[in-house]
Amino acid sequence: MPILDYITVSFLVIPLIILVLNNLFSKQFVERINFKLVGVVAILQMALAVAGFSLLSAAHWEDYRFSLLWDWTMEEAGYFAVNSLSLVFLFCIGFVLLVAVLVAKATVEQRKTAFVNLVLTLLLGMNGMVMVRDLFSLYVFLEIVGISSFVLVALFQLETGLEGAFKYLVMSSLATVFILTGLAFVFMQTGSLQYAQAWADWLSVQGTAQLYTYLAFILLISGFALKTGVVPFHSWLPDAHQSANTAVSILLSGIVIKVAGIYGFIVLTKLFPGFPPVALALRILGLLSIVVGALFALRQTHFKRLVAYSSVSQMGYILLGLSSGTTLGFLGAMVHIFNHATFKSTLFTNAAALSAQAGTLELGELGGLEKKMPVTGFSSITAFLSTAGIPPLAGFWSKLLIIMALWKSEAEGFAAVALLASILTAAYFLRLQKKVFFGQLPEKFGAVTEIGGSVKFAELMLSAVNIAVGVGFPLILLFFEGRGLL
């Protein structure tokens, strides 16, 4: 089906073309249109992902393979492929990119060309990661993602200066070392890094080389855990998020940690099928993240730092969903990835609005702003309720699916703790609401007004998505059922 060829190739080619265009013309000209171009790329990516998804399911194909300039049907040749999973990720990438660019319009004032270059590189890296079908290419694209992210963090030298970016760089290289060494062990065992090949071979060698299995497993899981920022590998994440420009925080928290980290975990669970420590490790990491992340969030005094710790906590739910090893849990994790992209982007968008209008993100200095900034206040409440898993917002359903899946796979204890930990989420967000929006307005904020333009639009759009997914979730369930997933 040639149309699928065009669609799939464009996920890689479009960012490249725009990247070239962005540097081809004079800066004055480029900086007038390049944000709009990225916005168009984001919307296009979402549309293409939806189109690809429909075509793929209409044809009842498992996946669709393609390459750029070489013949992938040759023996031992690498290739790209899309399946429903990668298309869902591609859609989320486009979605978060759109929000980030809307916010960047307000927050990025200098170095626009550099920013766009880096964002497009990041996009290329993430798109590549979810479409490759061998571990080494995965690693290459992971590096592209890593490098463009920490340069993005460092680009504007905000607040804590370069510390956050430096920490991120160090941790990221550590992760790289782990992952690369882990891959070496896999290669030693199986002689191939193609997913399909490695998965098949792994099964046959299991048991004969327990030591290598364990080594590869530990290294890979630590590497991806570092990239995701789950406890106890989380120390870089709040610093990086806080010191980055808010548009960058949206990208990092909304999608980068999921593509670079969670997607890695997904590959990992397939690489070690039926290896009992996988589920256990995911469960322990997940639960630790949920509880510890939330406890840290309770004590933060900076808006973005609190939200960053909340991301740590939410990643835990996604890992728990993956750990169940069932379709239900996997679906829950996928929906939670999308929902988390929505509500976490909302919160960072709120942060952009607050720092632009009120001039600070220190919780102690803010207060009572919902009267002056009703849209920001309202959208932050939708995000709060969704994160805490309170119906009828979207986050409730994904958590419910994850917890039901855990319960069904006889991890009742994990399910119970994960569910009850929602109260911690509610607690730190109530505290945030009290300090920022709910309450009396301090005099110094008498002249504050609501933010306008693209940021306000992003807030409204994200709240609408959040509510619509929550209220319309029965339809999504019917869709899953129709595809035979439930």
Partner 1 sequence: MEQYLLVICIFLPLLGAFLLPAVGKRKAKLRNQMALFLVAATFLCSTFLLPALHSGSPLFLHFELPLGLSFGFYADALAVFMALAASLVATVIVLYSFGYIKEEADQNEYYMMVCLFIGAMMGLVFSTNLIFIYMFWEISAICCWRLIGFYREATTIRRANKAFIITVAGALVMLLGFIGLYGETGTFDLAAMKGIAIPSWVVVLVLFGILSKSATFPLHSWLPDAGVAPTPVSSLLHAAVLVKIGVYVYMRMFVATLQIDEVFTVAVPALAAVSALVSAGAALRANDLKRVVAYSTISQLAFILLGLASGNEIGVVGGMLYILMHSVAKGGLFLCLGIVEHNVGTKDLTKMGGLYRTMPLTAIAFLFCAFSIMGIPPFGGFFAKYLVIAGIVAEGKVLLASFFIIGAVLTVLYLTRLFVKVFLGEATFPQVKEGTPLMVGSALFLAVLSAVLGIGIRVPSGLAALIGRGM
d(CA 30, CA 34): 6
Q: Which of 40, 88, 419, 460 binds partner 1 (CB under 8 A)?
A: 419
Q: Which is nearer to partner 1, 117 or 409 (CB)?
A: 409
- In the complex with partner 1, the residue whose CB is nearer, 21 or 477, is 477
Site string for partner 1, 115-134 (x = CB under 8 A): --------------------
Site for partner 1 in 32-61 (CB under 8 A): none
Our CB check for partner 1 shows the closer of 78 and 391 to be: 391
| 277, 325, 439, 442: which one binds partner 1 (CB under 8 A) | 439
Question: Alpha carbon 379 to chain centroid distance?
Answer: 20
Nearest one of 42, 46, 95 to 338, comparing CA atoms: 95
- Kindly tell me which of 430 and 468 has the beta carbon lying closer to partner 1: 430
**Is 443 exposed, middle or buried (CB count within 10 Å of its CB: 0-12, 13-18, 19+)?**
exposed
Q: Does 449 bind partner 1 (CB under 8 A)?
A: no
368 near partner 1 (CB under 8 A): yes
**Among the listed residues 77, 430, 464, 468, the single contact to partner 1 using CB under 8 A:** 430
Contact flag: residue 415 with partner 1 (CB under 8 A): yes
Q: How far is the CB of 323 from partner 1 (least distance, A)?
A: 17
Q: Which is nearer to partner 1, 42 or 335 (CB)?
A: 335
Q: What angle do CA 70, 73, 75 make, to 5 degrees?
A: 100
Residue 333's contacts (CB-CB under 8 Å, 6 or more residues apart) are: 262, 317, 318, 319, 321, 322, 398, 402
Min CB(406)–partner 1 separation in Å:
9
Q: How far is CA 19 from the centre of its chain?
A: 23
Tell which residue, 44, 235, 237, 256, has the closest CA to residue 144. Answer: 256
Helices (H) and strands (E) in the chain, counts: 20, 2
> Are the beta carbons of 388 and 429 closer than 8 angstroms?
yes
Amino acid occupying residue 166: F
Give 3 or 423: the residue with its C-beta nearer to partner 1: 423
Applying CB under 8 A, the span of 52-60, 309-317, 442-450, 476-484 interacting with partner 1 comes to 476-484
Contact range with partner 1 by CB under 8 A, out of 26-34, 141-149, 191-199, 382-390: 382-390
In the complex, least distance from residue 368 CB atom to partner 1, rounded to whole angstroms? 7
Indicate which single residue of 61, 195, 199, 480 sits in contact with partner 1 (rule: CB under 8 A). Answer: 480
**Site for partner 1 (CB under 8 A): which residue of 275, 348, 396, 428?**
396
In angstroms, what CA-CA distances link 179 with 175, 183, 264, 443?
A: 6, 6, 10, 53
Q: Pattern 260-289, binding to partner 1, x per CB under 8 A?
A: ------------------------------
Judge whether 344 and 311 are in contact, CB under 8 Å: yes
| CB contact set of 145 (below 8 Å; sequence gap of 6+) | 122, 125, 126, 129, 256, 259, 260
- Segment near partner 1 (CB under 8 A), from 153-161, 207-215, 304-312, 435-443? 435-443
Other CB atoms within 10 A of residue 222 CB: 19
Q: For residue 152, give the nearest of 102, 99, 112 by alpha carbon.
A: 112
Any idea of the CA torsion for 146, 149, 155, 157, to the nearest 10 degrees?
-90
Among all chains, which residue has been given the structure tokens 């630590």? 222
How many residues line the site for partner 1 (CB under 8 A)? 35
Q: How far is the CB of 4 from partner 1 (least distance, A)?
A: 29
End-to-end alpha-carbon separation of the chain, Å?
29
Closest CB 327 distance from partner 1, rounded Å? 11
Among 27, 36, 434, 444, binds partner 1 (CB under 8 A): 434
Q: Phi and psi at residue 81, in whole multiples of 5°?
A: -155, 145
Q: Give the integer Cα–Cα distance in Å for 129 and 176.
A: 14
Residue 460 sits in the site that holds partner 1 (CB under 8 A): no
For residue 88, how far is the Cα from the chain centroid?
12
Q: How far is the CB of 400 from partner 1 (least distance, A)?
A: 7
State how far the Cα of 39 lies from the Cα of 85, in Å rounded to an integer.
Answer: 23
CB of 335 to partner 1, least distance (A): 13
**Both tokens of residue 252?**
């990092």
Of 72 and 378, nearer to partner 1 (C-beta) is 378
CB of 297 to partner 1, least distance (A): 15
Name which position in 391, 442, 457, 460 contacts partner 1 (CB under 8 A).
Answer: 391
Binders of partner 1 among residues 292 to 351 (CB under 8 A) are 328
Nearest distance, CB of residue 431 and partner 1, angstroms: 8
Stretch that binds partner 1, among 31-39, 51-59, 60-68, 426-434 (CB under 8 A): 426-434
Binding site for partner 1 (CB under 8 A): 328, 368, 371, 385, 388, 390-392, 396, 400, 403-404, 407-408, 412, 415-416, 419-420, 422-423, 426-427, 430-431, 434, 438-440, 474, 477-478, 480-481, 486
